[in-house]
């Protein structure tokens, strides 16, 4: 089923490993490279955010904003809980990749994955490198429980400095260690505390309710039923165990090599997913090319917050198979292979 969405975006659903899943496809044009965007969460599609934060990605690519199993356009209450696993999400990513390769008659596509999506996306790239031109990790997950520990300490110090005794008490009652699951008190407080300091979704996001939830309800790209599904899907996805499994996984040990170029975009002020841990990981990863790019004015969503810089890097480095704009940082020896 395909519908024409606002802004000349195609809104469509396709069967993906037994479940009908939805997506928006923008920038459709002859000769453009294809980019698959794997969103964050788990369970939080991002295409609707481009109303407020236009990315301009469609100028360079035909972009597929896929909404993952159980999320947004792909939400349904009867999805078997047994299918909400990392292995299934990797398989779904590869199935959507094959749909795009077939539809747009190309052997390889570009894979851009954000936050939770980077946990899935980089493992899809490891599994089937021959299907991808390059991997672009945005706010790349490394070892998320370690990231949460760093964030807890940062927020505790910041709220102490601001004299917010109430927030300090709540954070002190839920200390984050290297144990998973995270303390329930911290999990309940986390988003509010981060957004209160301007280190959450975007630098100008101060409230999940007013700046995210209410804005999503105004999106013309979704029907009312789909808007409700957007948030039901987010809540349901967090109850599946995906969040805890991601927290516990040390990707720096799981993915040490890639057979394709890898590029990392990260906001300097990101405390949702640790900036220093991601930069260290980029220095360790063995791949034909590795570029790490600091977005100095961003937190967790650099492609939304600094779209001009993102497009410049994509045009001059990613599409040109270069790292000329990359930060300088210590790196491990790279593999010689360019991925075929």
Is residue 258 in some structural domain? yes
Show Cβ contacts of residue 239 under 8 Å, excluding neighbours closer than 6 positions.
none
Is residue 94 in some structural domain? yes
pLDDT tier at 139, thresholds 50, 70, 90 = very high
Helix axes 86-103, 116-127, angle to 10 degrees: 70
The answer on pLDDT for 333 being more than 80 is no
The answer on pLDDT for 4 being more than 50 is no
Write down the mean pLDDT value for the chain. 93
Owning domain of residue 84: 2-142+245-318
Helix (H, G, I), strand (E, B) or coil at 153: helix
Indicate whether 55 and 177 sit together in one domain: no
Nearest to 140 by CA among 33, 263, 228: 263
The answer on pLDDT for 2 being more than 70 is no
Q: What percent of the chain has pLDDT over 70?
A: 94
Q: Are the C-beta atoms of 176 and 182 separated by less than 8 Å?
A: yes
The answer on pLDDT for 340 being more than 80 is no
Is residue 155 in some structural domain? yes
Concatenating the DSSP letter of every residue in 180-217 gives: SSPPHHHHHHHHHHHHHTT-SSSTT---IIIIIIHHHH
Residue with more model confidence, 321 or 6:
321
Q: How would you write 77-89 as a 3-class SS string?
A: CCCCHHHCCHHHH
β partners of residue 109 = 132
Give per-residue pLDDT as tens, 34-62.
999 999 999 999 999 999 999 999 999 99
Give per-residue pLDDT as tens, 189-243.
999 999 999 999 999 888 877 888 888 888 999 999 999 999 999 888 888 899 9
pLDDT score recorded for residue 162: 97
Which of 163, 189, 223 finishes a domain?
A: 223
Indicate whether 64 and 212 sit together in one domain: no
- What distances in angstroms separate CA 261 from CA 34, 108, 326, one per listed residue? 16, 13, 13
The CATH number linked to 17 is 3.40.50.1820
Indicate whether 258 and 208 sit together in one domain: no
Q: How far apart (Å, rounded) are the C-alpha atoms in residues 48 and 131?
A: 27
Helix (H, G, I), strand (E, B) or coil at 163: coil
Which of 191, 223, 255 finishes a domain?
A: 223
β partners of residue 9 = 5
Indicate whether 122 and 35 sit together in one domain: yes
pLDDT score recorded for residue 206: 81
Is residue 278 in some structural domain? yes
Indicate whether 136 and 151 sit together in one domain: no
Give per-residue pLDDT as tens, 273-318.
999 999 999 999 999 999 999 999 999 999 999 999 999 999 999 9
Concatenating the DSSP letter of every residue in 261-277 gives: -EEEEEETT-TTTTHHH
Indicate whether 180 and 260 sit together in one domain: no
pLDDT score recorded for residue 269: 96
Write out the two tokens for 156: 């505790």
Q: How would you write 294-337 as a 3-class SS string?
A: EECCCCCCHHHHCHHHHHHHHHHHHCCCCCCCCCCCCCCCCCCC
pTM comes to 0.94
- Number of domains observed in the structure of the chain: 2
Indicate whether 260 and 126 sit together in one domain: yes
| Cis before 181 (ω within 30) | yes
Indicate whether 276 and 200 sit together in one domain: no
Is residue 154 in some structural domain? yes
Cα angle at 64 between 338 and 141, to 5 degrees? Answer: 60
What's the mean pLDDT in 143-159? 97
Indicate whether 120 and 200 sit together in one domain: no
Is residue 133 in some structural domain? yes
Is residue 229 in some structural domain? no
Indicate whether 99 and 23 sit together in one domain: yes
Instruction: Provide the H-helix boundaries in 38-143.
Output: 86-103, 116-127
Give per-residue pLDDT as tens, 240-283.
899 999 999 999 999 999 999 999 999 999 999 999 999 999 99
Indicate whether 124 and 150 sit together in one domain: no
Is residue 329 in some structural domain? no
Indicate whether 12 and 118 sit together in one domain: yes
The answer on pLDDT for 6 being more than 50 is no
């Amino acid at each position: 089923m395909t519908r024409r969405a606002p802004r000349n975006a195609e809104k469509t659903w396709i069967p993906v490993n037994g479940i009908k899943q939805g997506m928006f496809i923008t920038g459709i044009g002859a000769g453009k490279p294809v980019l698959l965007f794997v969103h964050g969460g788990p369970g939080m599609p991002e295409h609707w955010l481009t109303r407020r934060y236009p990315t301009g990605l469609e100028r360079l690519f035909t972009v597929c904003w896929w909404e993952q199993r159980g999320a947004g356009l792909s939400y349904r209450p009867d999805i078997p809980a047994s299918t909400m696993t990392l292995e299934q999400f990797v398989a779904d990513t590869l199935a959507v990749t094959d749909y795009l390769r077939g539809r747009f008659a190309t052997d390889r596509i570009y894979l851009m994955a954000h936050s939770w999506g980077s946990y899935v996306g980089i493992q899809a790239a490891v599994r089937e490198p021959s299907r991808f031109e390059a991997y672009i990790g945005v706010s790349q997950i490394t070892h998320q429980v370690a990231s949460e520990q760093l964030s807890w300490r940062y927020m505790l110090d910041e709220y102490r400095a601001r004299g917010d005794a109430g927030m300090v008490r709540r954070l002190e009652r839920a200390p984050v260690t290297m144990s998973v699951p995270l303390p329930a008190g911290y999990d309940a407080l986390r988003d509010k505390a981060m957004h209160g300091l301007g280190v959450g979704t975007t630098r100008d996001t101060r409230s999940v309710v007013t700046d995210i939830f209410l804005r999503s309800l105004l999106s013309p790209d979704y029907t009312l039923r789909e808007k409700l599904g957007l948030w039901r899907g987010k809540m349901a996805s967090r109850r599946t165990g995906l969040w805890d499994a991601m927290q516990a996984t040390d990707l720096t040990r799981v993915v040490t090599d890639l057979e394709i170029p890898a590029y990392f975009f990260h906001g300097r002020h990101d405390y949702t997913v640790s900036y220093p841990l991601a930069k260290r990981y980029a220095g360790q990863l063995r791949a034909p090319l590795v570029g790490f790019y600091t977005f100095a004015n961003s937190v967790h969503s650099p492609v939304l917050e600094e779209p001009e810089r993102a497009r410049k890097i994509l045009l001059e480095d990613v599409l040109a198979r270069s790292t000329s704009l990359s930060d300088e940082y210590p790196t491990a020896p790279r593999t010689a292979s360019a991925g075929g």
